[in-house]
């Protein structure tokens, strides 16, 4: 027997309690990680160079109000504007989906998308095929993979916002953007289906440089001030953040729940450890009599407490890591979350919390060891 | 005639428990010497201070005043961790309620004090097997305490007390929880340790028949030696 096998035997003496305690630590840490992921997904809008360069121009009245197509010529002449494309959210139901389609379909000008989606990678011939055929579309890799779609496949949508259905052929699959999910098709096709109403949903503008982007936004707003269709231009990032700000309260809520989870976890480990040590009160006195010093007894307690917390962390955080790598969270949450990514920081957080618990739960029993003499310990009944 | 060296010298030892206004004198100015190889029995009514005296000599309790020299070392002066080491090397404990660790086998219980020494596992094994053989439990080495009878448990406890080869073995009513046959075995064992094996054994007991196994008997009454 070694000291470590002695510690292990002690820890394993009440297996059911140990299993329950480890499970509750694991479950709580799993929950903590899940909350952290949700928080991150909800509050971290995608931010890359492209999203800072891109400007979304929408109707000042509301996002739902269309903008006149003739604004395009004005926009293109504004200094600092590199490219302009319609950007109309079609919002249809994909044939096969029941209530909700988790990827967006946008009507755009294919000739401008190269500049607007500079980070998108698509084979040249696929791009050219898309430009050439008005009833074709390109699709993000994530969606293509999810639905098992490939170039040449036909995709059909039922209009939910617009009174027309789409029947498109996939000309290409793109990837490399921050969110490879969207479908892009010709604005002209939509216009024709709708009988050329002369409107677009929003404008998608690319500024010539990041430095100029805020100025361009200003200029656009000013250009249409006092016109029949006043606009609100904002960076794509700000546009997304506008949605995200709705989640601000949720952030507080999730933060609060996380604190409660950690606190509950603390109570579980502290009570487990103090139970485990209290029932061995007399044995600790015997060990002392046999010549074990305080520091050795401290080490036993710490090792047991740490072991419990660490086993829980391995199970809970490791479990979260495995589960969220396997799970198709996009499908599960109807597209609310693109992916549930367990970051190293979250794993770090879970293990730090566990380590802290290990120490805190050991403090009480350690104090007991200091306080009780051999004689007092011997007097307690088993 | 050779006079044996005293192994324990107790001088003017007092232990007073203060409980608010009331003071309980557990030991009152006790002086006593114990020779090496003696099997001393401590007798006296309940509450007379037997356990208290035994605990102070064994270095698990501290007196209010007085000194207690064991092999020339004043144990009352050692600090907490020096005392722990000292106990490990010099004292073997036997308790009324055997106090074995329930999750460890007989072998492992006996091995426990050796984990604090520098001995390698082979050497530890030899020593553990030797003492288990001495107490006649070679065939029960891998049994857990709950698989042993009370008498066997107490013999394992004696083996644990002996495994570090201490000079002093203290036993507080070691037969208190045993039937008379097991008690006889345990007492015989303790007796065989003293003179022949050169250990000094101090045993607290209520039972005059048990005391008869000792080489000398002293009586405590209200914290004082009466004879
Ligand atoms: N922690 C304590 N606080 C106050 N008084 C104590 C304490 N421990 C022991 N005493 C008192 O000291 C006296 C001696 O106690 P001790 O345990 O030595 O008696 P004992 O002779 O071993 O008795 P028994 O035969 O019942 O075991 C008793 O009067 C007891 O009440
Ligand atoms: Mg007593």
Helix, strand, or coil (residue A124): helix
Measured in angstroms, the CA of B214 and the nearest CA of chain A are apart by 24
Across A231-237, average pLDDT: 84
Test A13 with B55 for CB contact under 8 angstroms: no
Test B108 with A294 for CB contact under 8 angstroms: no
Test A373 with B58 for CB contact under 8 angstroms: no
Across A191-206, average pLDDT: 94
Over the Cα atoms of chain A, what is R_g?
30
For chain A, the residue count is 382
Rounded CA gap, A315 and A29, in Å?
9
**Residue of A253 and B59 predicted with greater confidence:** B59
Test B60 with A293 for CB contact under 8 angstroms: no
**Residue A268: pLDDT above 70?**
yes
- Kindly give the distance from the C-alpha atom of residue B51 to the centroid of ligand 2, in angstroms, as a whole number: 4
pLDDT at B1: 46
Measured in angstroms, the CA of B99 and the nearest CA of chain A are apart by 7
H helix or E strand, kind and range, residue B194: helix B180-194
Rounded CA gap, A321 and A305, in Å?
24
Per CB-CB distance under 8 Å, the chain A contacts of B115 are: 1-3, 6
Angle in degrees, CA A66, A68, A70, rounded to 5: 155
pTM confidence score: 0.72
pLDDT at A241: 64
Residue A358 contacts residue A269 (beta carbons within 8 Å): yes
pLDDT at B141: 94
The count of C-alpha atoms lying within 13 angstroms of the C-alpha of B152, restricted to the half-sphere facing its C-beta, is 18
Across A338-347, average pLDDT: 79
Indicate the angle between helix axes A15-43 and A294-326, nearest 10 degrees.
50
Q: Which residues contact A41 (CB under 8 A, 6 or more apart)?
A: A337, A338, A339, A340, A341
- A contact residues 350-379, partner B, Cβ 8 Å cutoff: 373-375, 378
Rounded CA gap, A355 and A366, in Å?
16
**Residue A1: pLDDT above 70?**
yes
pLDDT > 90 in chain A, percent = 51
pLDDT at A117: 85
Helix/strand/coil percentages in chain B, nearest 5: 35, 30, 35
Rounded CA gap, B151 and B158, in Å?
11
Over the Cα atoms of chain B, what is R_g?
17
Rounded CA gap, B225 and B206, in Å?
15
Hey, is the C-beta of B60 within 8 angstroms of any chain A C-beta? yes
Strands B200-204 and B168-172: parallel
- Kindly give the distance from the C-alpha atom of residue B50 to the centroid of ligand 1, in angstroms, as a whole number: 8
Ramachandran category for residue A217: left, alpha or beta (phi over 0 → left; psi -120 to 50 → alpha) = alpha
Residue A25 contacts residue A312 (beta carbons within 8 Å): yes
Test B97 with A382 for CB contact under 8 angstroms: yes
pLDDT at B222: 92
Q: Which residues contact B126 (CB under 8 A, 6 or more apart)?
A: none
* Residue ranges lining ligand 1, Cβ < 6 Å: B 17, 19, 24, 26, 44, 46-52
How far CA B10 is from CA of B27, B79, B94, in Å, comes to: 12, 19, 21
Give, for ligand 1, the residue of B52, B96, B177 to mutate: max count of ligand atoms closer than 8 Å to Cβ: B52
Helix/strand/coil percentages in chain A, nearest 5: 55, 15, 25
Hey, is the C-beta of A246 within 8 angstroms of any chain B C-beta? no
Test B103 with A378 for CB contact under 8 angstroms: no
pLDDT at A329: 66
pLDDT at B10: 95
| Domain B6-226 sits in CATH 2.80.10.50 | no
pLDDT at A10: 87
pLDDT at A242: 66
- Kindly give the distance from the C-alpha atom of residue B207 to the centroid of ligand 1, in angstroms, as a whole number: 18
H helix or E strand, kind and range, residue B8: strand B6-19
pLDDT at A373: 87
pLDDT < 50 positions in chain B: 1
Rounded CA gap, B173 and B215, in Å?
17
Residue A371 contacts residue A323 (beta carbons within 8 Å): no
pLDDT digits over A286-338, tens only?
999 999 999 999 999 999 999 999 999 999 999 998 888 877 666 666 555 65
Ramachandran category for residue A264: left, alpha or beta (phi over 0 → left; psi -120 to 50 → alpha) = alpha
Residue nearest to atom 27 of ligand 1 (CA): B46
Residue B34 contacts residue B6 (beta carbons within 8 Å): yes
Q: Which residues contact A12 (CB under 8 A, 6 or more apart)?
A: A18, B103
């Amino acid at each position: 027997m070694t000291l470590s096998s002695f510690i292990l035997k002690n820890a394993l003496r009440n297996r059911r309690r140990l299993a329950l305690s480890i499970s509750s630590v694991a479950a709580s840490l799993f929950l903590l990680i899940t909350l952290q992921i949700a928080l991150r997904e909800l509050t971290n809008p995608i931010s890359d160079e492209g999203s800072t360069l891109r400007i979304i121009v929408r109707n000042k009245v509301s996002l739902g109000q269309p903008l006149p197509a003739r604004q395009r010529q004005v926009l293109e002449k504004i200094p600092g504007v590199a490219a302009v494309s319609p950007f109309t959210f079609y919002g249809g139901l994909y044939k096969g989906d029941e209530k909700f389609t988790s990827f967006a379909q946008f009507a755009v000008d294919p000739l401008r998308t190269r500049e607007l989606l500079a980070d998108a990678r698509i084979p040249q011939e696929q791009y050219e095929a898309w430009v050439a055929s008005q009833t074709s579309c390109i699709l993000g890799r994530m969606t293509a993979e999810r639905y098992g779609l490939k170039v040449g496949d036909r995709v059909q949508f039922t209009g939910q916002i617009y009174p027309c259905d789409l029947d498109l052929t996939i000309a290409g699959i793109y990837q490399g953007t921050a969110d490879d999910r969207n479908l892009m098709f010709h604005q002209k096709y939509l216009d024709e289906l709708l009988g050329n109403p002369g409107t677009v949903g929003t404008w998608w503008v690319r500024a010539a440089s990041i430095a100029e982007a805020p100025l361009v936004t200003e200029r656009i707003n000013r250009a249409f001030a006092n016109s029949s269709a006043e606009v609100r231009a904002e960076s794509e990032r700000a546009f997304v953040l506008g949605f995200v700000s709705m989640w601000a309260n949720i952030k507080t809520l999730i933060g609060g729940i996380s604190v409660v989870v950690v606190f509950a976890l603390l109570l579980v480990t502290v009570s487990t450890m103090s139970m485990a040590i209290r029932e061995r009160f007399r044995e600790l006195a015997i060990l002392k009599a046999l010549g074990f010093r305080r520091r050795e007894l401290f080490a036993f307690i710490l090792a047991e407490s740490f072991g419990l917390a660490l086993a829980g962390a391995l199970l809970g955080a490791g479990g979260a890591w495995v589960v969220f790598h396997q799970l198709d969270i996009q499908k599960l949450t109807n597209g609310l979350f693109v992916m549930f990514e367990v970051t190293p920081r979250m794993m770090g957080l879970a293990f730090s919390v566990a380590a802290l618990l290990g120490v805190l739960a050991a403090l009480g029993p350690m104090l007991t060891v200091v306080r009780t003499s051999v004689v007092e310990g011997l007097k307690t009944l088993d | 005639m050779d006079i044996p060296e005293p192994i324990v010298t107790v001088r003017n030892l007092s232990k007073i428990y203060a409980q608010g206004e009331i003071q309980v004198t557990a030991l009152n100015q006790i002086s006593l010497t114990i020779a090496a190889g003696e099997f001393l029995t401590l007798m006296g009514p309940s509450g007379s201070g037997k356990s208290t005296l035994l605990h102070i000599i064994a270095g698990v309790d501290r007196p209010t005043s007085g000194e207690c020299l064991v092999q020339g070392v004043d144990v009352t002066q050692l600090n907490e961790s020096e005392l722990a080491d000292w106990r490990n090397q010099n004292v073997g404990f036997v308790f009324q309620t055997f106090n074995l660790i329930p999750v460890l086998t007989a072998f492992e219980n006996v091995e426990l004090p050796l984990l604090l020494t520098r001995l390698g596992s082979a050497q530890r094994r030899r020593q553990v097997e030797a003492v288990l053989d001495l107490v006649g439990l070679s065939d029960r080495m891998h049994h857990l305490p709950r698989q042993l009878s009370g008498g066997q448990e107490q013999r394992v406890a004696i083996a644990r007390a002996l495994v570090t080869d201490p000079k002093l073995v203290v036993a507080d009513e070691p037969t208190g929880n045993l039937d008379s046959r097991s008690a006889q075995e345990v007492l015989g064992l303790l007796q065989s340790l003293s003179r022949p094996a050169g250990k000094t054994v101090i045993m607290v007991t209520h039972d005059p028949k048990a005391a008869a196994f000792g080489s000398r008997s002293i009586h405590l009454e209200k914290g004082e030696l009466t004879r």
